[in-house]
């Protein structure tokens, strides 16, 4: 469910006044993660690396209140559920996107991930969920990347989590991940908390 919210009745009142009309309101944080457990879990279960990482992203975000708020077209909205957006390369060589609802049941989320991404690939059509707080993701796995900066525009204010190719080491596999968010939605401290929560979700992942 999506509903308009009075910014003055939230903890983001001052941020709304400061950043809602900013021409460049986005903030990007980058952190290098130990993703060894995702690699291990993926090999053991046969589940795709990106699917497992998206599950961890959803779980980490769901524990932070600010992820349920979104500034949009001069207003502030509150949501009661989260979905992860995934970019898919379709069979024609183009790209489509699909929104995957976050569920408490990991197996159900992963099932929908497989079904929806495969459908987008085969049908070359995007699918979107209404009334969900959408967390965008983008995996550019053709090369190793240190950081990714997305478009700084008020046309898309949703948070974005982005990464390139992971890096294998002697003792662990690492992956730099960039997290971009609208400053009205959250502050740097909230973004840092999300990144810390994400690392914990990755380390503790079990499916």
Domain contains 11: no
Domain contains 63: yes
pLDDT for the residue 64: 98
Evaluate if pTM is beyond 0.85.
yes
Question: Residue 24 burial by CB count (10 A; 0-12/13-18/19+): exposed, middle or buried?
Answer: exposed
Domain contains 78: yes
Domain contains 13: no
Return the CATH number at 90.
3.30.559.10
Q: Report how far residue 21's alpha carbon sits from residue 74's, in angstroms, rounded to the nearest whole number.
A: 7
Domain contains 3: no
Tens-of-pLDDT digits for all 207 residues of the chain? 899 999 999 999 999 999 998 888 899 999 999 999 999 999 999 999 999 999 999 999 999 999 999 999 899 999 999 999 999 999 999 999 999 999 999 999 999 999 999 999 999 999 999 999 999 999 999 999 999 988 766 667 899 999 999 999 999 999 999 999 999 999 999 999 999 999 999 999 998
Domain contains 135: yes
Domain contains 1: no
Domain contains 14: no
pLDDT for the residue 153: 66
Number of domains, the chain: 1
Range of the domain at 143: 28-203
Contact call for residues 102 and 154 (beta carbons, < 8 A): no
Q: Report how far residue 119's alpha carbon sits from residue 102's, in angstroms, rounded to the nearest whole number.
A: 18
pLDDT for the residue 73: 87
């Amino acid at each position: 469910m999506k509903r308009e919210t009075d910014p003055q009745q939230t903890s983001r009142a001052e941020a709304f006044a400061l950043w809602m009309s900013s021409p460049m309101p986005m903030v990007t944080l980058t952190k290098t993660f130990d993703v060894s457990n995702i690699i291990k879990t993926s090999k053991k279960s046969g589940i795709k690396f990106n699917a497992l990482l998206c599950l961890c992203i959803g779980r980490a975000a769901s524990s932070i209140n600010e992820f349920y708020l979104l500034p949009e077209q001069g207003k502030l909205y509150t949501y009661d559920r989260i979905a992860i957006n995934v970019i898919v390369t379709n069979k024609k060589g183009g790209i489509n996107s699909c929104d995957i609802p976050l569920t408490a049941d990991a197996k159900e989320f992963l099932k929908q991930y497989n079904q929806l991404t495969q459908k987008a690939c085969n049908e070359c059509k995007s699918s979107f969920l209404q009334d969900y707080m959408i967390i965008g993701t983008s995996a550019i796995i053709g090369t190793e990347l240190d950081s990714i900066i997305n478009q700084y525009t008020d046309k898309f204010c949703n948070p974005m989590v982005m990464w390139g190719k992971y890096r294998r080491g002697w003792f662990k596999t690492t992956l730099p991940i960039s997290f971009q968010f609208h400053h009205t939605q959250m502050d740097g401290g909230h973004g840092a908390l999300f990144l810390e929560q994400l690392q914990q979700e990755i380390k503790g992942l079990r499916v």
